[in-house]
Structure formats: C-alpha cells, structure tokens
Amino acid sequence: MINLKKVKNPMPEQDPIVRAGNFEEVAEGYTAQMAINEAMRCLKCRKKPCTKGCPVMVRIPEFVAKVAEGDFEAAYQIISDTSALPRICGRVCPQENQCEGFCVQGLHGEPVAIGRLERFVSDWHAAREEEMEAAALEAAEDDEFAEFAEEEVIESNGRKVAVVGAGPAGLTCAGDLAQKGYEVTVFEALHKPGGVLAYGIPEFRLPKDIVAAEVKKLEKRGVKFVNNAVIGKAETVDELFEDGFEAVFVGTGAGLPSFMNIPGENLLGVCSANEYLTRINLMKGYLPEYDTPVQKANRIAVVGGGNVAMDAARCAKRMGAEKVYIVYRRSMDEIPARAEEIHHAIEEGIDFQLLKNPVAVVGDENGYVTGLECVEMELGEADASGRRRPVVKEGSNFVLDVDCVIMAIGTKLNKLILETTENLEANDRGGIGTDEGAATNRDGVFAGGDAVTGAATVILAMGAGKTAAASIDEYLGE
C-alpha cells in the first residue's frame, strides 16, 4: 500500500529549551508504527533514483518495502549488505544531498525519510542483538548454550594488515578485511578509536555508545586496536612492513584546523572548533566528574557554516553560554551544514549572523578577547564552485560583543604520513595520491577517506574503506 502523505512523519525530539541544557540525543527515533507509516510513503519507483543518490548504493526501495511489511530484520540485512555503519549513517549522513535529494516524493512534497528509516532499522537490530547476547550470556552459565556467548570465529588466513587511523574509513576497511580472515591491527593516534565520530560529532547527535559498539563488533571479529600510536612518529609506515604487515591502509583523516590569519587570532579566548569539540566530546569536558578544561565564556562567536560550526555552536550553548553567534560569510542558501543541524541550531536559539565576515579579533590590555570585528558582505558573481562569491560592503565594519571566538572554517590534511613514508606521492589537493582502487604509488600502501579527498563525509570515508579492503584482498590474494 502507498501512502501519498506529502510530509515526512515527524521525528520525536527533545524539546529545544530542555535539550539546549543537556548532551542527550536530540532526535529520539521512530517507533515501529511510525517507521511503517513512513515506509508506506515510498512510491516503489521503477528507476530507483534514491539508490543512485547513495554513495554506497544501499538498495533503498528494497529495504523500505521490508519496513512497510514490518519485517525489520530483513530490512537490516539489506542495508548491511552495503553499509558498514548504518546506525551512524542514519544519524549523520547529509541525506538531503544524497538519497533523499533524489526521492521522487520530494518533487511535490517531502521525500521519504530514508535516513530516519535506516536509523530505526539499525537501532531495532542492535537492540535485538543486545537482548540475544544478554540471554546467551545468562544461558552460558548452563554449558549447553555456551557457544552462543563466544566470540565470532573467523578462520585466519595468516596474513597481517595494518590500518592507520580509526575513523570511519579505517574501521570499515578493518571490518571488511577481518571478515575475510586477515589479521588486522588498527593504529590510532588518540586514546580512543572512532576518529571524528568519537572526537568531533557531539553526543547529542551521535551517542558514543554507538561508536563503541561498532568498535566492539570489530574486536569480536579479531581486529586489534593499538591506541596512542602516532604512525610517522612512534613508527613509520615503512617500519610497519618490517614488522611483518603485508599491506597498510592509511585513513588518517584531515584534522588539522585552519585559521583566518586575521589580527588578534592569538588572543586568549580564540580556539579551533576541533580543539573545542575534542575537549568536550572525546575528553568529556561537559561532565563535571572530568577535569578537562574547556573555554568557559558567556558570549561566543563561531566562525563558519558547516557541520563543524553547528556542532561547536550547539555545544557552546550546552556548556552554558548566554549568547552564541554563527558568523558566516554567505547566505542561508549557500550554507553547507546538514539541513537538520541548521534547523536544530535555530530552534536552540543560535543567532545566525549571515553575510558577515570577521576581519579582526579585538582584545583588552590583558590579552583576552572582547569582540569580533566583522564586515558585511553581499553576493557577487558565481565562483568556480558555482556558489556566488561574497564581496565586502565597504565601510560596513562593526564589532560583535563576544568573549570567545571559535574558528570552524575547515580543516587541512596533516602531512605526517606523506613526509615520513618513503616516496609516497601526494595528489593535487595535497592529500595522499591514490587510484580508483585506493592504491597509492607505493606497493602495498593503500589510502582513503579525508586523508585522500580532504574534509568530506562519513559515508564517503566508509565507501573508500570498503574499496580499499577489496583492493588489499585482491593485492594479497595474488
């Protein structure tokens, strides 16, 4: 049956006033009945345009049809055929530019809520799996059922692969290789695996127990994690080969923050969004029982218009700031963050200063920030990216009264691996150069995710991890 309702079934959410004071997840997830109702909005289009909009080609109409029938396990199996981290993608993918952007229902109303359905199905499956594990553990006290509580047994093929970086690219590559029997060790610079999923995206968008559960699944598959290991410092990629690894995948991301190089950027009270978010998310600065120092301020300007800027602004609100500004140099039509994050930020009272650009950070005699001097902008001709170029309105300078400035204007690639791996070539964006199969110019060295493309998305990083795992399998299988 098809339901021709023009709008999505709304997502239950925490009230904006309440949630702006806590770090619990904003969106609460569909109930089974809501998911079935939403799935019934699918038109079962013959050409399946939504599938083409998905970077990993999840067979969307097939899984949505199973949800409509109430067969959630079958729906999960279809999704997990192609997507390694569906609980994460259902929450953070920019669906409006991907699958939902191509949905035919969207032509005359709102598209089918494909992301919400993916989240529902994968949460449903995870809850069932947890129940079954708990039951198996209890039953294991009875020897008869012990086998159900044991680790997933995959026969090893005896070949060792190293993965550098435990973000979505590295985790996906590790998972696929372990599934094929490789002995995989993941080396991660930070003290916890997950990459941006752990240190960047806040708890209220992506609960960290979901990331931890994905890591645990990989451990059960035999993947070993070595944290606090900066490859290129502790050991080089070349030394990993000497240690017996036969292939290396590099998924080190693009986490080096950019600054504007404007006067006053070294004043006390200016920091990068990456540092701010890492202190809050990875180092739990929002919890009173942790000692992590976090910039405390009442009036905060976050510079930028991407997901990172929205996350920093919404964290600042939750950390107790009275006034939080987003300062973005283009208009709402060009803003790059996910539509849902912008909507949530507005609901939570973030003040959007659009068509404004900082020219200097202003400070007092003790070196502390007291304001952000900005100019107004107007949109001129389109630039190479197709977006209209912001042009300064002469004489429009003004000062925003703030005591903290968070820079969220993008990140760059860290060159450490390129500089410490013999003869490894870069691409023209400054990332690690690869062919379509994620192979670099160095024999046995593969790379993918933000380390190759520059800052992109979780699903693209995952897709690159998958491609690399298939190429490594082919390379070592020869």
The interface mask with ligand FAD, positions 307-326, x = CB under 6 A, is xx--x---------------
DSSP summary character for residue 72? H
Residues near 56 by Cβ (< 8 Å), separated by ≥ 6?
82, 83, 459, 462, 463, 466
User: Which of the choices ligand SF4, ligand FAD, none does residue 49 contact, using the CB cut-off of 5 to 8 A by kind?
Assistant: ligand SF4
Smaller CB distance to ligand SF4: residue 86 or 433? 86
For the CB of residue 475, give the shortest distance to ligand FAD in the complex, in Å. 20
Residue 160 CA to residue 391 CA, distance in Å, equals 54
Q: Which of 175, 251, 433, 463 binds ligand FAD (CB under 6 A)?
A: 251
Q: Binding of ligand FAD at residue 467 (CB under 6 A)? A: no
Q: Binding of ligand FAD at residue 247 (CB under 6 A)? A: no
Q: Which of 61, 167, 431, 449 binds ligand SF4 (CB under 6 A)?
A: 61
Q: Taking contact as CB under 6 A, which single stretch among the options 2-10, 248-256, 383-391, 428-436 is the one that binds ligand FAD? A: 248-256
Instruction: Please say whether the beta carbons of 287 and 421 come within 8 A.
Output: no
The interface mask with ligand FAD, positions 358-397, x = CB under 6 A, is ----------------------------------------
The interface mask with ligand SF4, positions 20-59, x = CB under 6 A, is ----------------------xxxx--xxx---------
Q: Binding of ligand SF4 at residue 307 (CB under 6 A)? A: no
Q: Which residues inside 77-96 make contact with ligand FAD, applying CB under 6 A?
A: 92-94
For the CB of residue 69, give the shortest distance to ligand SF4 in the complex, in Å. 14
Enumerate the β-bridge partners of residue 399.
373
Instruction: Please say whether the beta carbons of 75 and 121 come within 8 A.
Output: yes
Rounded to a whole number of angstroms, the distance between the first and last alpha carbons of the chain is 50
Q: Which residues inside 62-81 make contact with ligand SF4, applying CB under 6 A?
A: 64
Q: Taking contact as CB under 6 A, which single stretch among the options 109-117, 138-146, 179-187, 248-256 is the one that binds ligand SF4? A: 109-117
Q: Which of 450, 463, 466, 469 binds ligand FAD (CB under 6 A)?
A: 450
Instruction: Please say whether the beta carbons of 215 and 252 come within 8 A.
Output: no
Q: What is the widest separation between alpha-carbon atoms in the chain?
A: 80
Q: Binding of ligand FAD at residue 269 (CB under 6 A)? A: no
Residue 208 CA to residue 59 CA, distance in Å, equals 27
Instruction: Please say whether the beta carbons of 319 and 351 come within 8 A.
Output: no
Q: Is the dihedral of CA 224, 201, 307, 257 positive or negative?
A: negative
For the CB of residue 106, give the shortest distance to ligand SF4 in the complex, in Å. 7
Phi-psi category of residue 277: left, alpha or beta, with phi > 0 → left and psi -120 to 50 → alpha:
alpha
**How many residues contact ligand FAD, by CB under 6 A?**
43
Residue 20 CA to residue 317 CA, distance in Å, equals 6
Smaller CB distance to ligand SF4: residue 94 or 111? 111
Q: Is the dihedral of CA 433, 436, 437, 438 positive or negative?
A: positive
Task: Report the helix count and the strand count for the chain, using DSSP H and E.
Answer: 18, 16
Element (H, E) at 121: helix 114-140
CA distances for 31 relative to 34, 36, 260, angstroms: 5, 9, 45
Q: Which residues bind ligand FAD (CB under 6 A)?
A: 92-94, 164-170, 187-190, 195-196, 200-201, 229-232, 251-253, 255, 277, 307-308, 311, 338, 414, 416-417, 449-451, 455-459, 461
Contact set with ligand SF4 (CB under 6 A): 42-45, 48-50, 60-61, 64, 103-105, 111-112, 114
